[in-house]
Amino acid sequence: MNSSSAAENSAKAEAVETRLSGYDLLLHPALNKGTAFTEEERDAFALHGLLPPHVGNLEDQLERRMKAFDCETNSFDRYNFMRNLQDSNETLFYALITGNVEKFLPIVYTPTVGEGCQRFSETWLKPRGLFISYPNKKRIDQMLADPRYDKVRCIVVSDGERILGLGDQGAGGMGIPIGKMALYTALAGVHPEHCLPVLLDVGTDNEERLKDPIYIGWRNKRVRGQEYDDFVEAFVSAVKRRWPHILLQWEDFAGSNANRLLERYRDRLCTFNDDIQGTAAVATATVLGAVQATGIPMKEQRIGFLGFGSAGIGIANLLLAAMKEDGLSEEDAHKQFYPVDRYGLILTGQAGLRPDQVRYARKKSDLEGWTLSGSEQISLADVARNAKLTVLIGVSSQAGAFTEEIVREMAKHTDRPAIFPLSNPTSKSEATPADLTKWTNGRALIGTGSPFPPAEINGKTVEFSQTNNSYIFPGLALGILTSKAKHVSDAMIMAAAKALAALSPTLKNKEASLLPPITDSRKVSLPVAEAVGKQAIAEGLAGVADEKSFEAELREYVWEPVYRPYVRLNN
C-alpha cells in the first residue's frame, strides 16, 4: 500500500474513542500506533516524551520493521520477531503480512509455527488468548467473563495433542490458535478484536515437555476418557453461554478426538474442524484443478491415500461427494479410493478399524488379479502398481514415504499423475516437489502442504502449488461470520472448495499451477466467503435476510490494517 492510499483510508476511517493514555495506550497492541501518533494525539493522550519526536506514518514503520526483520538470521528468530510485533502493534503486524503474504506466511504460519510451538515455553512473554487448564475447570465462566472479550465472535481452540506432524506439544500448542487467528485477520479481514485463541491444557504425554524446567503448561499426564469429555463439555457450554452465536474452530486435536468432538457439537453451535474440513476443501479444490488440467473426469479419478486418520477421511468424504455429483453412485464412488494406513491397504475385517475407516475398506475380492510383493500387508507400492492411481495424497507425517519406486510406478499408468504430499511441517513431507518432478520427467501435478522453493528442471524454473488450508479457512470464517450462519454444513465446505477451484490457473492454461499463487491468498478469501455465505442462505442456515443483505454485510465487515484518528474520552 502506498502513502496516499493509506492516508486516504485513514481519513475515511471512523475515529477510535478510548480512555487510555500514556503508557497504557502505548502498551495496548490493538491501539498502539508508535511514532505514527500525530502531534495533536500526543497532546491529547499525554504521549510527549514517551515517544521520540519524529512523527511518522505506517509506511515509515513498514520500511523500518522490514529492515529489522531481514536482519534476523533464521526462520525461528523471524517468527519470534513477528510474534513480538503482534503483541506490541497489531496494525503494523498485519500491514506487514498483507503487503507481502508470500514472505511472511511461512513465518507466522506453516512451517515455522511448528518450531514456535516446540519452543513456546522459552519465548512466551505476553498474554494472548486464553489458557484454560484442567485445574481451572470450575473457573471457565469467570475467565470468559472479562469485558475485554465482549466483542469476540470467533474462537480457534486446540488441546495441543497433535500439532502439525510434531505430535503432543502440550501448552506449546497455543502457537497454532494464535497463528490461525492471525490469518483470519491477515487473509480475510476479520477484525482482531473479534478473535480469541484458546488452549485447553489437559496436560501432556510428551516426556520432554514434562521434564523441561521451563515448561509453562500444567505439568501432568494428559487427562483422558470421561474426565476429558466432561472438561470439553464444560468449555463448550461456557462458550455458548458467553457468546450464543460464536464461531468455534477445532484445531490440532488427535484423531481419536477430532471427529468425535466435531460430530458431537456441530449441531449445537456454529463449528468446524480445519484439520478435517479445511484440509478436505483445499485438497478437493486442488484435485478439481488437476481434473481441469488433465481432462480426466472426476468420476474416473483413482485416488490413493497414505495416512487415513481424520484428515485423510475428511478429504475422502469431500472427494466422494464430488464424485457423486459427477454421476457415480455411492457404491461405485467408494471403489475409486485406495486408503493405505500403517498396516497397509485398509481391508474389510481388519482389526482395529474406526467406523469412519470401515466405509472405505476394500474387499479382498476387489484385489483379484493383483500382483503383490508377497508381504502380509498390501503396501502403497502394491497399490500404485495394481490400482493405476491418478491421484496420490499424503497425510501420514512420514517424511520420504513417496519413494522413487512408487512415484515412477504411478507415472507409468497416467500421463500427468497428481501427487500431493500434504504433511506439515516441511520436515514431515512425504516427498519434495523437486524429486517428484524429476521422477516423472516434469509430468507430475504437484501440491504440497508447506512451501517449497522453485526447482530448476531441464533448464526451466518450476513453481509448486502450496495446498495450504490458508486458502480456505480464513474465507470460510469470513463467510460464516458475515452470513451469521447458525451451523456449518458439508455443502458450505464444498462451496468453499468449488470457489477455490474456480480460481485455478489451469482453467486458462493446463500447464499452470493448480492453485492461485499464495500471494493472492487475501484476494481468494472474498470469493470463498461469498460462496460459503450464499450456500448458508440457500440452506436456511443464515441469520441474514437474503443475498443482498449478506453482500452488504460482507462489504462493510472487512477490516484493513490502517491507522485511524483517535479521540480521547474523559475518565
Active-site residue set? 109, 180
The CA R_g of the chain, rounded to the nearest whole Å, is 24
Residue 177 pairs in a beta bridge with: none
Under a CB-based contact definition with an 8 Å cutoff, are residues 138 and 451 in contact?
A: no
CB neighbour list of residue 100: distance below 8 Å, 6 or more residues apart: none
Query: Cβ(35)–Cβ(51) under 8 Å?
Result: yes
Query: Which grid coordinates are listed for 502?
Result: 474456480
The answer for residues whose C-beta is within 8 angstroms of residue 204's C-beta and 6 or more apart is 160, 168, 169, 170, 171, 210, 217, 220, 221, 222
Question: Phi and psi (nearest 5°) for 17?
Answer: -105, 130
Which conformational region is residue 560 in: left (phi greater than 0), alpha (psi within -120 to 50 degrees), or beta?
Answer: beta
| The three cell numbers locating residue 559 | 477490516
Give the C-alpha separation, 39 to 53, whole Å: 9
Decide: helix, strand or coil at residue 247.
strand
Q: How far apart are CA 496 and CA 483, in angstroms?
A: 14
How many whole angstroms separate alpha carbon 46 and alpha carbon 571?
14
What do you get for the CA distance between the two ends of the chain, in Å? 36
CB-based contacts of 70, cutoff 8 Å, min separation 6 = none
DSSP 275: I
61: left (phi over 0), alpha (psi -120 to 50) or beta: alpha
Grid cell locating 119: 519452543
Q: How far apart are CA 367 and CA 116, in angstroms?
A: 45
345 and 376 in contact (C-beta within 8 Å)?
no
* CA 297 – CA 416 distance, rounded (Å): 13
DSSP E strand stretches across 141-233: 154-158, 195-201
Contact criterion met (CB below 8 Å) for 529 and 449: no
Q: Return the number of other C-beta atoms located less than 10 Å from residue 519's C-beta.
A: 12
In this structure, what are the phi and psi dihedrals at residue 315, rounded to the nearest 5 degrees? -65, -45
Which residues, including other chains, have CB under 8 Å from residue 81's CB and lie 6 or more apart? 68, 69, 72
Q: Would you give the distance in Å from CA 220 to the centre of its chain?
A: 28
Q: Is 57 exposed, middle or buried (0-12, 13-18, 19+ CB in 10 A)?
A: middle
Burial class (CB in 10 A: 0-12, 13-18, 19+), 375: exposed
Quote the strand ranges of 83-159, DSSP E.
130-133, 154-158
With contact defined as beta carbons under 8 Å apart, do 47 and 23 qualify?
no
